[in-house]
Amino acid sequence: MNIKMLGLLVLAGASLVTGPEVLAQAPSSQPVAGNSGQASVDRDIQLLRQDIASQKKQLIAANLALTDAEATQFWPVYDQYQAEYMRIGDAKVVLIKEYVQNWGSVSDEQALWYLQRSQNIEESVLELRTKYVPIIKQVLSGKKTATFFQLDRLIVLLLDVQLAAQIPLVQSQGH
């Protein structure tokens, strides 16, 4: 599988990321889903995140040429990395859900608070990658370590672009 196919597969999977973000595009006069609707959205988000994580692992496996010995050592480390990454993703989901819930009435102060939290999340991702470079370097060569992080970053960037396209700009809320 080449990088173009990788990008297409990620974009195809990410095109499903339209759950709560679509609510933000609805006029503020329409009611937001109640508790049962919210539980359904939460369940859908969780299932989608699990599916994307599975697809991400498959894409990395298909594009990172590992020997059997390397794979035996790498995949447990990857799973640990991904679990930590998902915790950061939890914070991102919370932020997006709060933004969606408040969209249409976001104040200047809230907008800046959302921006700060978003930047903190991005910093957490960078810190996680920085933490795992030497850990993965212990089980893979330098080239394969760099390739893993290239693939990881490419997949995440493609997902982030797709997600960002679904989230309306703060200033478009009409205030």
**How far apart, in whole angstroms, are the C-alpha atoms of residue 113 and residue 119?**
10
pTM score, whole prediction: 0.74
* pLDDT tens figures, 11-62: 444 433 333 333 333 333 333 444 565 666 666 676 777 778 788 999 999 9
| CA dihedral for 85, 88, 92, 94, sign (positive or negative) | positive
* pLDDT tens figures, 85-108: 999 999 998 998 888 888 888 899
**How far apart, in whole angstroms, are the C-alpha atoms of residue 18 and residue 142?**
37
